[in-house]
């Protein structure tokens, strides 16, 4: 028998990719989650999760489809619970995916502002890379995606939120620290530090290659803050778009930001959603709120 409680257990396990973490988030025992998974897999006579030794659980193709439907049903149940108390007030949960570099810059303030305006909606977000986010949208793992515009599949709808101009990130002691601007020819002979994400790396190298330039890539970094730390400590320079308020790395080493003069167009930041899954009222509210929030900050 399907119950909303058992569905919520499976959705939590999918979100956390771990039975143990799902149980902790719901303040229940781990066997309760495992029993719900076994019961529902028996009900459907299909495997929903793949058990990955030492790496938690992952969804099967069938699991991705059915968990997306479970998530939708839970949101509808939350809306029904509050029906009549304010029919125009969205309720439920919104699942947002965000490119990891953008997340610390926007998500905390945006989520706080949204949840203040829509107290019956809970925003759950996950950080990921360029390659993962469109897949999460199309398998229903997330409702919306905040990302750079580096080519999205045609089955994904999108709205532009803002644009960021690229700039050169230098260590504070660099000989160019006092320059008004720089161009790609200036940078081509400098050791270059890039993000390890394949699409981000390809995009930046293409900027050089289109001008016949072949820069030396000295290092790659998994995270934006590690990249900033490598630059600050003299391992090379970088071209980036996100601009934190602080001009120091985590270890306190100084950084300098110089405009990049010869790169057009600027990088667009998008909010996107899949045509495969209609947005819930809560997700629509988050989309509209986000567009207005960015508009007010521009």
Dump pLDDT digits (tens) for 10-67.
Answer: 888 888 888 888 888 888 988 888 888 888 888 888 898 888 776 688 888 888 888 8
Give me the pLDDT at residue 257, please. Answer: 95
Give me the pLDDT at residue 212, please. Answer: 92
132 band by pLDDT with thresholds 50, 70 and 90: confident
The residue among 137 and 175 whose pLDDT is bigger is 175
Give me the pLDDT at residue 57, please. Answer: 85
Contacts of 19 (CB under 8 A, 6+ apart): 13, 30, 33, 34, 37, 56, 57
Contact 294, 161 (CB under 8 A): yes
- Alpha helices, H only, the chain: 4-16, 19-26, 30-44, 61-81, 103-117, 132-138, 184-187, 198-209, 224-232, 281-297
The residue among 79 and 260 whose pLDDT is bigger is 260
CA-CA distances (angstroms) from residue 167 to 33, 134, 180, 225, 235? Answer: 48, 26, 11, 16, 17
Max mean pLDDT range (35-44, 104-113, 277-286): 104-113
Give me the pLDDT at residue 63, please. Answer: 85
Q: What would the two tokens of residue 6 be? A: 């058992």
The residue among 279 and 298 whose pLDDT is bigger is 279
Cα-flanking dihedrals φ and ψ of residue 218, to 5°?
Answer: -90, -35
Decide if pLDDT at 87 tops 70.
no
Percent of the chain residues past pLDDT 70, beyond the cut: 96
Go through the domains of the chain in sequence order and give each one's CATH number: 1-81 (1.10.10.10), 89-163+266-298 (3.40.190.10), 166-263 (3.40.190.10)
Contacts of 265 (CB under 8 A, 6+ apart): 163
Give me the pLDDT at residue 54, please. Answer: 66
Give me the pLDDT at residue 82, please. Answer: 65
Decide if pLDDT at 86 tops 70.
no
Q: Which residues pair with 122 in a beta bridge?
A: 93
DSSP per-residue letters across 188-246: TTSEEEEES-HHHHHHHHHHHHTTT---EEEEEESSHHHHHHHHHTTS-BEEE----S-
Contact 191, 68 (CB under 8 A): no
Decide if pLDDT at 122 tops 80.
yes
Give me the pLDDT at residue 17, please. Answer: 85
Tell me the pTM: 0.74
Give me the pLDDT at residue 140, please. Answer: 82
Q: Which residues pair with 271 in a beta bridge?
A: 146, 159
Per-residue model confidence as pLDDT tens digits over 245-259: 889 999 999 999 999
CB-neighbour burial class of residue 178 (10 A; exposed 0-12, middle 13-18, buried 19+): exposed
84 band by pLDDT with thresholds 50, 70 and 90: low
Q: What is the mean pLDDT of residues 230-241?
A: 95
Decide if pLDDT at 81 tops 90.
no
Q: How far is CA 93 from the centre of its chain?
A: 17
What's the mean pLDDT when you consider all of the chain?
A: 88
């Amino acid at each position: 028998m399907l119950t909303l409680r058992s569905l919520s257990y499976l959705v939590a396990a999918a979100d956390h990719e771990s039975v143990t973490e799902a149980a902790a988030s719901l303040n229940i025992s781990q066997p309760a989650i495992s029993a719900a998974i076994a019961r529902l897999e028996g009900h459907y006579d299909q495997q929903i999760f793949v058990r990955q030794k030492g790496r938690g659980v992952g969804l099967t193709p069938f699991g991705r489809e059915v968990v997306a439907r479970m998530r939708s049903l839970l949101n509808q149940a939350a809306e029904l619970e509050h029906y009549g108390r304010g029919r125009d007030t969205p309720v439920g949960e919104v699942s947002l995916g965000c490119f990891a570099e953008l997340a610390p810059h926007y998500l905390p303030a945006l989520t706080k502002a949204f949840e203040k305006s829509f107290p019956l909606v809970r925003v759950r977000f996950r950080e990921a890379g360029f390659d993962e986010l469109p897949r999460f949208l199309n398998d229903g793992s997330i409702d919306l995606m905040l990302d750079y515009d580096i080519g999205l599949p045609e089955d994904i709808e999108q709205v532009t939120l803002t644009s960021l101009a690229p700039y050169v990130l230098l260590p504070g002691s660099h000989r160019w620290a006092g320059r008004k601007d720089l161009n790609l020819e200036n940078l081509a002979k400098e050791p270059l530090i890039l993000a390890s994400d394949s699409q981000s790396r390809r995009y930046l190298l293409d900027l050089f290659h289109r001008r016949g330039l072949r820069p030396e890539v000295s290092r790659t970094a998994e995270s934006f803050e590690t990249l900033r730390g490598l630059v600050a400590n003299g391992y090379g320079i970088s071209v980036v778009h996100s601009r934190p308020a602080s001009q120091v790395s985590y270890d306190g080493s100084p950084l300098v930001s110089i405009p990049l003069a010869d790169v057009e167009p600027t990088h667009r930041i998008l909010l996107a959603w899949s045509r495969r899954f209609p947005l819930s009222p809560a997700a629509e509210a988050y989309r509209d709120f986000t567009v207005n929030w960015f508009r007010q900050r521009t």
